[in-house]
Amino acid sequence: MKRILLASAIILSVISCSRNPVTGRKQLSLVSEDQLQQMALTEYKTFLSQNKVVSNVGNKDAEMVRRVGSRIAKAITDYYNTQGKGDILKGYNWEFNLVDSKEVNAWCMPGGKVVVYTGLLPVTQNEAALAIVLGHEITHAVAKHGNERMSQEMVAQGIGVAGNVLTGNNPQVNSIFNNIYAPGSQVAVLLPNSRNQEYEADHFGLLFAAMAGYNPREAIPFWQRMQAMSGGSQQPEFLSTHPADANRIQRLQGYMDEALKYYKPVNSKN
């Protein structure tokens, strides 16, 4: 039976792989984007109802989060529309909220639901660095990294292999979704994705921030500040799904020339 499930999983993995239009990399995708966005919307609304959301009216930090996020969303939308790939953002209804929390964190769910924690702002220090973080988080969503991770875990658990139905009403599917997307499962600034996904989010997030008019060079001092926060106690990269900060900085420096080609400063604190 185990051999049959393994063979079925391998076959399913092959036939369910598609080339991601953002990154160009082949990905396993077993969950429809519509279904994933609906599950994300439910989780997002629950989170907002249980946490203190900072009003966008009259609060400069909340206004900054909305301004930076909206500019990045517009830049991404304009870019993919000009590339004839506007369907990448089908179903996206962007929202940007600042939540009162000491956590150094931010995230974006499928469908464009973005949350920044107030604890992140003393580390970003300026709009451009915040744009670097939001570009990264938004890339995780538009590049369907969560869908890929869910699909991999579903195959590992035999969901959809032995006649199981792929639906949001499936308790196993819901459990996998919550492990990946529930805010309580998130670590530091970033979702616990694979190192390959993290580097993709760094790369394209840097480009998106530059397209929005934010100086991509701000990525280096931001991650240096993050590195300093670790106090030298960060575990070796091969023991973590996250790239070591020093390795991430080196990669970002390698992406910089490409990002600068998209960078056209606008009147803002960037």
Q: By three-state DSSP, how is residue 220 classified?
A: helix
Here the tokens at position 206 are 């840097």
Give the number of residues written for the chain: 270
Active site residues: 137
- The label of the residue with tokens 């464009």 reads 112
To 5 degrees, how large is the angle CA 8–CA 11–CA 12?
85
d(C-alpha 150, C-alpha 145), whole Å: 9
Q: Is the dihedral of CA 230, 205, 110, 18 positive or negative?
A: negative
Here the tokens at position 51 are 């946490």
Contact 115, 53 (CB under 8 A): no
* Residue type at 26 in one-letter notation: K
Contact 191, 140 (CB under 8 A): yes
